[in-house]
Amino acid sequence: MWVGIISLFPEIFGPFLKFGVIGRGINSGLIKIDFWNPRDFSGDPNGAVDDKPYGGGPGMVMKAQPIFSAIEAAKKERGSDLHVVYLSPQGSPLNQNVLKGLLEKRNILLVCGRYEGIDERLIERVVDEQISIGDYVLSGGEIAAMVVIDGVSRFVPGLLGGETSAHDDSFSDGLLEHPQYTRPFSWAGRSVPDILLSGDHQKIADWRKSEAIDRTSKRRPDLLKSRTLTEKERKILNKNIEISNE
């Protein structure tokens, strides 16, 4: 997987790229990250890349040309088939399906805005997709870019220790993940559920599904509204509701 990043502050990514899944992916060659800084293409003696917004208002707006030139430089180096993504609170909400779709693009170019955003004309001309990581405002798109990179990297074949790990994560099948336990068996007066020690893989799978449906219905009922439950899952949900009402 290749990811290009356009950012005024590429140094922010330093520690993020050195550790964990991302660091392992880069070291193994499964992930490659490149940067372009719009300041290098500003044409201004002081490297200015922003200016006051037309029509008045607070803050500054990033100019179109420096970012456009950075994108063109990325395409010249990597090829023209780059999927250009602008990290924006006005974009589509990020979820597992969006991440899977990005992986299929193979070459992703993430544009990190700053200040009040970037000139709309640039978005109209070169941006293929806008993505939001939530209904809140950050100082820039760098943190959002890290979220996207971390999320999509989990689907890169061969990167995770277990090939099914990403598919078992929360949201992968539209549900929150079931509870997880490890040693010791007893901690702070609480023990691991006996069924996880039974060795019966089918019963364990059924228990995990039941727990996933139960906590999703309690913590994120909105997810169930957008997901079509199987007959078996609906029976589990109804049973959990009956137990809760007892």
Coil/strand/helix, residue 170: coil
Annotation marks residue 58 as catalytic: no
Residue 57: count other Cβ atoms within 10 Å of its Cβ: 10
Catalytic-labelled residue, pool 116, 129, 168, 177: 116
Cα distances (Å, whole numbers) of residue 240 to 58, 60, 203, 210, 243: 52, 52, 16, 8, 5
Rounded to the nearest angstrom, the gap between the alpha carbon of residue 71 and the centroid of all alpha carbons in its chain is 21
Catalytic-labelled residue, pool 34, 150, 168, 169: 169
Annotation marks residue 116 as catalytic: yes
Angle between helices 96-105 and 142-153 (to 10 degrees): 80
Rounded to the nearest angstrom, the gap between the alpha carbon of residue 187 and the centroid of all alpha carbons in its chain is 33
Residue 160: count other Cβ atoms within 10 Å of its Cβ: 18
Cβ atoms 59, 115 nearer than 8 A: yes
Rounded to the nearest angstrom, the gap between the alpha carbon of residue 42 and the centroid of all alpha carbons in its chain is 30
Annotation marks residue 154 as catalytic: yes
Catalytic-labelled residue, pool 89, 129, 150, 215: 89
Catalytic-labelled residue, pool 38, 114, 142, 154: 154
Active site residues: 89, 116, 154, 169
